Amino acid sequence: MFDNKYLVCIPGIILAFVLYTLSQGFNNIIGIELLGYSKSPISTAMIAILLGIFFGNFFKISNNFQKGLDFTREYILKVGIIFLGIQLKPFQFLDFGKIAIPLIIVCMIGVLIVIKLLIKKLKIPTRMAYLISIGSTVCGTTAIMATAPIIKANKSEVSYAIANITLFGISSMLIYPYFINFYFGDEPLLTGLFLGTAIHETSQVAAAGLIYEQQYNSPETLNVATLTKLIRNTFLIIMIPLFAFLYYRGQSYKKNYSLLKIFPYFVLGFIGMIILRNIGDEVFISVNNIIWLQTIDTIKFSSKIFLTMAMAAIGLSTNLKDIKKMGYKPFVVGFIAMITVGIFCILTIEGYLRFFG
């Protein structure tokens, strides 16, 4: 028998699934019926988040749906990301891991330096600047929520930082897949590295990768973007203590965080799915090839459904009024942070190609 706390999640989960279905329907009508393509050139994930933003801001969403939407954003999203691991072949990640880690480090350092300069220039609250910094460099809202209690940020500062990250994360999610295809062309490794490093949230990276895959038929880009972002997420266990040290430098403070609590455990699930795929290819491919391939296809298809549902839930939970209340100074910092990480990302990739490509 299900616990009542899970039963109350059902309405919100159903709502997210309904929006996924609507998104798929709109996608087919516009891309196939109206435009005449055999496969729609429009991304279902993009339609889902835009529909979510529309319904979430122009209609009042009942509180009965909120727990389910939170569950979808928090857990169904992570299951979708874990399931993406089934697409990776043996040691595929080693091809870009040697680029991904230096790339992530360079981008983090670049953003931190730029925001440090902006704090003095714009005179925004130090705590808010720290929250925007870690949200931009590591993993968005998760990093902000993990850092806030350590530097004793108040609710207003946390809300502003999250609204900032949401606004520019969604903007980059919708723009970068098209920009980076124009810039790098048909290069799954380079485009995936960029999307996985330059976009704030794990969910936004997954959505951007999904948009890219659906627009340009490149599942490799989605794989690289997702794994790059998961590598980036693990830097949280380094950045949280670093930010605590920088914030309290010269002061005494009580350590009130746990590395075990902030570690993104779904990364282990993603790796486990890669291992499952590799073992399955060895064991089942010669025994029952058809069933194993069908299983892989089912898990892949499920991951797309779960990720698109999460995009719809994120859209429904995005309050445009809160973003409007931010004021222009945090807006400027967030915009410059987004541009900075994008520029540093491209320069680092170009530098690698020049010297090692």
Q: Is the residue at 62 inside a domain?
A: no
Q: Is the residue at 15 inside a domain?
A: no
DSSP label at residue 46: H
At 194, the pLDDT band (50, 70, 90 cuts) reads very high
Q: Is the residue at 286 inside a domain?
A: yes
Overall pTM > 0.75: no
Distance separating alpha carbons of residues 283 and 289, to the nearest angstrom: 10
260 pLDDT above the threshold of 70: no
For residue range 272-323, what is the model confidence (pLDDT) as tens digits?
Answer: 888 888 888 777 766 667 888 888 889 988 988 888 888 788 788 777 776 6
Q: Is the residue at 296 inside a domain?
A: yes
Per the structure, the complete domain to which residue 169 belongs is given by 79-356
Q: Is the residue at 235 inside a domain?
A: yes
Q: Is the residue at 71 inside a domain?
A: no
Choice among 73-77, 170-174, 261-265 with the minimum mean pLDDT: 261-265
Q: What is the mean pLDDT of the chain?
A: 79
Choice among 82-91, 122-131, 158-167 with the minimum mean pLDDT: 82-91
The one-letter code for the residue type at 321 is K
pLDDT of residue 15: 92
Residue 285: how many other CB atoms lie within 10 Å: 11
Report the pLDDT averaged over residues 58-71: 84
Choice among 37-51, 170-184, 328-342 with the minimum mean pLDDT: 37-51
Highest mean pLDDT among 16-30, 47-61, 118-132, 261-275: 16-30
DSSP, residue by residue, 260-307? HHHS-THHHHHHHHHHHHHHHHHHTTTT-HHHHHHHHHHHHHHHHHHH
Question: For the chain, how many structural domains are there in total?
Answer: 1
Distance separating alpha carbons of residues 198 and 155, to the nearest angstrom: 27
pLDDT of residue 121: 77
Q: Is the residue at 43 inside a domain?
A: no
DSSP label at residue 89: P
DSSP label at residue 33: I
Report the pLDDT averaged over residues 134-144: 77
Q: Is the residue at 2 inside a domain?
A: no
Distance separating alpha carbons of residues 231 and 20, to the nearest angstrom: 28
